[in-house]
A = this chain, B = another copy of it.
């Protein structure tokens, strides 16, 4: 699967312009499974001598989140983190409150229960945040 086409096609479909900057930001986020914030992504681009402004990084992230190419993760420390959603199934996160390590987990039972809960209260579920905080194996 040529990843290059994914972004271009999404943008074209949404009547947005395909630009080098948007491709660069997307490439950068795709390049790792890390959960990085906007500043880290921006600095990584600078490191590679790719010139994209901070504003454009933020604006591109907004687009990528909107069209679900990336996921936004908020661990409650005042800045949002992002991960690519390429070939990944839905998952939630375990976060170590000591070292900051982020693990991913998948639990179908919980996902189903969430649907039941929403139904019970008459909600039409859109998305959810489910994060377990504690000490990881090393830190405890």
Stretch of A17-25, A82-90, A128-136 with 4 or more beta carbons under 8 angstroms from chain B: A128-136
Q: Are B134 and A76 in contact (CB under 8 A)?
A: no
Q: Are B128 and A133 in contact (CB under 8 A)?
A: yes
Copies in the complex: 2
Q: Which residues of B contact A105 (CB under 8 A)?
A: 117, 120-121
A43 on the B face (CB < 8 A): no
Shortest distance in angstroms between A111's beta carbon and chain B's nearest beta carbon?
A: 10
Q: Are B118 and A134 in contact (CB under 8 A)?
A: yes
Q: Which residues of B contact A97 (CB under 8 A)?
A: 126
Shortest distance in angstroms between A118's beta carbon and chain B's nearest beta carbon?
A: 6
A105 to B123, alpha carbons, bound, how many Å? Answer: 12
